Chain A
Amino acid sequence: MVPGRRNFLAGSLLLALGTRVRELYAAVIGMPQVSAVDPFRAFAPYMDTLIPRDESPGATDLGVDQEILSRIRNSDYRKGIIQQGCRWLDEAARKRGATDFTALGPDGREAVVGKAAEAAPGTPLHEFFRYTRDQAVRIYYANPESWISLNYRGPPQPLGFTDYTQPPTLKRSR
């Protein structure tokens, strides 16, 4: 079959995410810096709310937060998006009576992140959630420690999957 359709899917995701990056850039870069506190303080607990530890590692267990911050260090736009997102998380936490996002318990953090997930497309908050979730899953699920609970015996090489005609050895049925 035609492998190019993978590229079709990649292209369609880019289109579906909208083309307002330049507008967001202007909105984010123009924001004044207002605090001397670590502007990314909320990021690690936010990551662990997106991908929590349960029977498999959480996001920060696999260094996902640090990897994302490393990747954006040369992008004023991306840094601005994440800083603005972190400020929003802290503000939302204060509305719930906490001093900041890190002071919230798990239920409170989930409630706050749930609001971020519902942000209107085209807003900086929507871009914050979309970008960080996308990066988080890309980094998290490229780590073999996340594969164990999925019964995934990758990477594809060097062993391949020579048992491909058989039912998988560990199966989970509905």
Chain B
Amino acid sequence: MAAVDVIIIGSGAGGGASAWALAKQGVRVLLLEAGPAYKPKRDYRLSSYQWEQSGFPHKINPWGRQSYAPLQKLEEKWRELRSWNRVNGPMNTTNRRQPWGYHHVQGVGGSTLHFSGEAHRLHPESMRMKSRFGVAADWPLDYAELEPYYQQAERVVGVAGPLKQGARWRSENFPLPAHGLGYASQKLQAGCKKLGLHWQSNSLAILSAPYDDRPACNYCSNCSRGCPRRDKGSVDVTFIAQALRTGNCTIRTGCRVIALEAGADDRVRGVRCREADGSESFETAPMIIVACGAVETPRLLLRSESSHAPEGLANESGQVGRNFMETLFWTSSGLHPEALASYRGLPADGISWDFNAPDAIPGIVGGCRFSHATADADLLGPIHYAQRVVGGWGPKHKAAMRDTFGRVIGVGAIGESLPNPGSYVDLDSHAKDELGLPKARIHSHLGDGELARLAFMAKTTRRILKAAGVDELVEEYGSYDSFSATHVFGTCRMGNEASDSVVDRYGGSHRWQNLFVVDASMFPSSGGGESPSLTIEALAIRSAEHIAGLLKRRDL
């Protein structure tokens, strides 16, 4: 095989953006992806009458790929945070938090294949949680340093957004104009106005006009089932497509990395893989980037233990797997009196950032944001209405379906998740995957601080819905009685000190000279609910610039 300069493990936001940023500079990249490639037109069957029967068409089953340590008992004092549905009753009938899963996609493009397209920059103050608020850790860089890389990422993807986003100052406008607010979202905007809250168009990796040989969105609202048109800027149709066009990037799919092999000279010798045909291979390159996400990246590093790295690779600080931060979320949905046809438009077309700053919620450190969540709640089609909104049977059921369909509006909130000693990822020696490798085991605990923030999120979503005219709630669910996460962070965090961080300000291991981590596991703090993909991409582009410089100087 032709010589390779950089091996990248994982093709999601971090791996894909790294591949593009390196390949365009002439660096030869081998991108290893455990999952397959998806073909948008063929695989995302939104033109079928059966479209609603399933969610994202996973080619590799995501269920059961991780294990969970027992989660916390539920307490009476947080009863208001239990999840329920008006047709099916309580969603968790036990007295213990339940693991509903770490939701991700294994495939070229990673979890951007099923994301809702939100493209957010971090609030600048979220990068100073330790020095300003005494929690989490500070980022070893600031917003100003990351800003030009946000610009680059937005240009590659074609982000559509409003002129202003509060504290997230910009040196240039978004590449594309913001999408209009959907009819249902306009009701939420009107409700927010009554409450003195600001509701605006969200910034989205979804095209509002043709761009980069991709068409504009036609507002089907089903981004989470995959976009057959490629107007959603998932990594496969943006960064990776452009990386491949340079001629400097090769992708190998169905390739599972077994371990990274460390040498005696503080360098990683290479990557041991199991290929799609069952054979084993050993790949070497001057530089290696791990970009498997905040659960699978620590898993790979921990199981790459050796005599040179007895605690796991890059784990000299003991922080690999620690500081796990999850998606703290709440969603309330209810019936509006008007027939809205709320299944139309964009997921999360509207958003309120009013409580996003770390000190915006009175008495609570760590912010949150509120957005339109009808699509996120998957109340877009008649089957889900019949299962979750309109119970019963017979003539009354049919009449209720006609009366109700299209009237549900949902508001969701995502909030800051702070690291704590009870939340971490380790290896489960009792639960192995099909290759006999220990699964990642997720330990998750929500402290009273998190639950207070969650209670604020729940209360405020209900206020917004009521002010918008919703007179009956039909479903609510959140993080209190379930672990259900897509945004996960922190397990290989950045820092200036090798004693309490895993990687440096560019994602480089403090000890292993040719090893980088570029994904959300680098995040020292989660932010106040921002969707992380754009920040991951910006970090990746910045790290790639640094790595390319090292390669040029042969500084390895």
Contact = CB atoms under 8 A, between A and B. Distances in A.
Interface of A: 1-13, 15-16, 49-52, 54, 56, 110, 113, 117, 133-134, 137-138, 140-144, 146-147, 149-152, 154-168, 170-174
B92 A1 contact: no
B553 to A, nearest CB: 41
Nearest to B218: A160
B50 A142 contact: yes
A162 B218 CA distance: 6
B307 interface: no
Interface residues of B, number: 91
B219 A160 contact: yes
Contacts of B382: 141, 146-147, 150, 152
Contacts of A3: 55-56, 103, 114-116, 223-224, 347, 376, 486
A159 B338 CA distance: 24
Contacts of A172: 339, 402-403
B199 interface: no
Nearest to B392: A117
A8 B47 contact: no
Given A11-B100, A137-B387, A51 B487 contact: no
Contacts of B220: 156-157, 160-161
14 contacts: A1-B531, A2-B103, A2-B414, A3-B224, A4-B102, A5-B377, A13-B88, A16-B89, A149-B398, A152-B381, A156-B221, A161-B220, A164-B180, A171-B341
B383 A156 contact: no
A133 B401 CA distance: 15
Interface string B448-482: 00000000000000000000000000000100001
Contacts of A147: 382
A118 B220 CA distance: 38
Given A156-B51, A173-B338, A164 B345 contact: yes
A54 B395 CA distance: 8
B373 A1 contact: yes
B24 to A, nearest CB: 30
B282 interface: no
A163 B402 CA distance: 21
Given A50-B394, A143-B49, A165-B181, A149 B406 contact: no
Main secondary structure of the interface of B (DSSP, over half): loop
A15 B51 contact: no
A164 B182 contact: yes
Contacts of A51: 393-394, 397-398
B378 interface: yes
B52 interface: yes
B339 A161 contact: no
A93 to B, nearest CB: 17
A146 B93 CA distance: 34
Nearest to A160: B218
B46 A155 contact: yes
A2 B329 contact: yes
A113 B397 CA distance: 14
B464 to A, nearest CB: 15
A153 B218 CA distance: 14
B183 A9 contact: no
Contacts of A141: 52, 381-383, 385-386
B338 A165 contact: no
Nearest to A18: B93
Interface string B328-363: 010100000111110111111000000000000000
B162 interface: no
A96 B20 CA distance: 73
Nearest to A147: B382
B92 A156 contact: no
Contacts of B297: none
B6 interface: no
A152 B343 contact: yes
A110 to B, nearest CB: 6
A166 B341 CA distance: 10
Nearest to A10: B55
B405 A151 contact: yes
B383 A161 contact: no
Contacts of B48: 155
A11 B98 CA distance: 10
A144 B395 CA distance: 19
Contacts of A56: 398
A129 to B, nearest CB: 9
Interface string B181-223: 1110010000000000000000000000000000001111111
A15 B103 CA distance: 18
B458 to A, nearest CB: 14
B315 to A, nearest CB: 28
B347 A1 contact: yes
Contacts of B118: 1
Given A3-B56, A8-B100, A157-B220, A16 B398 contact: no
A99 to B, nearest CB: 23
Which residue, B341, B381, B482, B487, has most C-beta atoms of chain A within 10 A? B341
